[in-house]
Amino acid sequence: LAFAGKYRGDDSVSFIYFGDGASNQGQVYESFNMAQLWKLPAIYIIENNEYAMGTAIDRASSTTELYMRGASFGIPGEQVDGMDVLAVRDATARAVKRAREGGGPYILEVKTYRYRGHSMSDPAKYRSKEEVDEVKKTRDPIDHIKMLLAAAKVTEDELKAVDNEVKAIVAESVQFAQESPEPDPSELYTDVYVEA
């Protein structure tokens, strides 16, 4: 997609999301090489939640500063607090501006934390309840943004109104999905291949 955007000469930017565990896989580096070689408008977002499946990052990665993984390709990067929505917004805006100006690929390591296991089959017994509780208490992104909104004089009633509006949108979307008919099997290949 990044190559297509550059080829067409539009101002599109491609975002490539993967986690700290996937950052150790070979295809990531093949992609880095191509993106830098062709100066593609590609932003790699590494979601570093500190645990790949069930293994702590320092047990699976020889270097844990993942934003530096593109250094040997000449791809710059930065680490950003993924628990701070404004910090993520600002870092992403800088990366997009750079990509649109022809600067090529960029890596954003978004340091975050997941409170639960990696999937339904993961009881997350590889970390303590105290560790999770400490992160919730000191770094929770929702609590952080609520604090910022309160400092900006946004009232609790205004927050509840936004919350109710979002819940209504979600409920309407769920109802639409549940009431919509299953697609006809003839649609299986629609928009998968392009006739050339």
Q: Which residues are catalytic?
A: 114, 118, 126
**Token representation of residue 48:** 């570093």
- Phi/psi zone of residue 67: left (φ > 0), alpha (ψ -120 to 50 degrees), beta? alpha
Strand (E) or helix (H) holding 56 = strand 55-56
> Comparing C-alpha atoms, which of 45, 43, 41 is closest to residue 99?
41
DSSP-H helix ranges across the chain: 2-8, 26-37, 57-60, 85-100, 129-139, 141-151, 156-179
The DSSP 8-state label assigned to residue 164 in this structure reads H
